[in-house]
Amino acid sequence: MSMPTVIGFLLSLLLFFGAIALSTSNLHIFLHLTGFMMVIGGTLAATLVAFEARYVKQALALLRAIFFSPKIAREMLTNEVARVIRWGYLVQKGGITALETDTRNLKNQDAFLAFGINLVITGYTGPEVRQLLENQIETTFQRQIVPTDILKYMASNAPAFGMMATLVGLVVMLDNMGTDPSKLGPGMAVGLLGTLYGVLFARMVLTPASNKAHQRESIIRFRNMLVAEGLALLAERRSPRFIQDAMNSYLDPKIHFDIDKIRR
């Protein structure tokens, strides 16, 4: 589980409902099934019209995925540098055959890394490996951020459907006002709940989920760019120390890999 995400979400709920509890004892007035259905159902329906269903399904899955730990952590970047350097030593000692033997089971673990290693083993030059991997990185990233764009679209639509729910509630209220004017206040309160639901859904759920999912995909892209640079240098048969310095140039100095520390 991603504890910061869970804590942040629970804290936002606590602050919202806590403020309501401190303001009124009549908590049930904030429950309005019709307004809730119009916001959630309307937003989802409009999204299905605008995007293919399979992408919408992926976007909805992100709402759950953000509560779990990301695939790439900060410390893993240093490990990637160490792994490519180890391969550099393997190539120095045993050639491409040694690299092929060491990475035989990589395909089932990391498809991108397996693709890059296969390019090196095939015999492509460093610039060719870099270009092919950069194409893979960018096209994959563009595919992966489609669900985050869908969540942003949903976040922009949810308040509008909330306003629709409010307008429906106000029309109904005005229609009944002639028979019982005393219902004007409660009726207006119920009508405004649609707008409240729309804003909450957009700002507490959809927008944060979209931003976090986009950030995680950006981190994966950065990791792949780091690995691509290392594999391109590996294809050029550069020394392990040069590979280290080149890959470290992508990283925060606090997490640089140091060959000398390993040798001590």
- Tell me: the pLDDT tens digits for 173-207? 777 776 666 666 666 666 788 889 999 999 999 99
**Top-ranked range on mean pLDDT: pick from 32-36, 203-207, 258-262:** 203-207
Q: Please, are residues 233 and 246 in contact by the beta-carbon 8 Å criterion?
A: yes
- Looking at the structure, tell me whether residues 68 and 11 fall in a common domain: no
Residue 69: pLDDT above 90? no
Residues 119 and 174 in one domain: yes
pLDDT of residue 30: 82
Please check whether residues 124 and 6 belong to one and the same domain: no
Of 161, 104, 158, 111, nearest to 136 by C-alpha is: 111
Instruction: Say yes or no: 14 and 136 in one domain.
Output: no
pTM of the model: 0.86
**Residue 70: predicted pLDDT:** 81
Closest CA relative to residue 228, chosen from 163, 145, 147, 135: 135
Residues 133 and 26 in one domain: no
Domain that holds residue 1: 1-30
| Angle CA 43–49–52, to nearest 5 | 110
Same domain for 148 and 24: no
Residues 47 and 172 in one domain: yes
Same domain, 25 and 96: no
Report the distance separating Cα 126 and Cα 122, nearest Å: 12
Distance CA 104, CA 112 (A): 14
Residues 6+ apart with CB under 8 A from 109: none
Count: domains in the chain: 2
Cα gap 126→232, rounded to integer Å: 4
Q: What is the pLDDT of residue 157?
A: 94
- Asked whether residue 248 falls in the same domain as residue 183, the answer is yes
**Judgement on whether residues 113 and 145 belong to the same structural domain of the protein:** yes
Residues 245 and 164 in one domain: yes
Instruction: Give CA–CA dist 221/243, Å, rounded.
Output: 19
Q: Which two tokens stand for residue 154?
A: 């949903």
Is residue 30 within 8 Å of residue 95, measured between CB atoms?
A: no
Looking at the fold, whether 4 and 53 belong to one and the same domain comes out as no
The CA dihedral of 36, 212, 132, 86, to the nearest 10 degrees, is: -140
Query: Using CA atoms, how far apart are residues 228 and 247, in angstroms rounded to an integer?
Result: 10
State the pLDDT confidence band at 116, using cuts at 50, 70 and 90: very high
Measured distance CA(242)–CA(260) in Å, rounded: 13
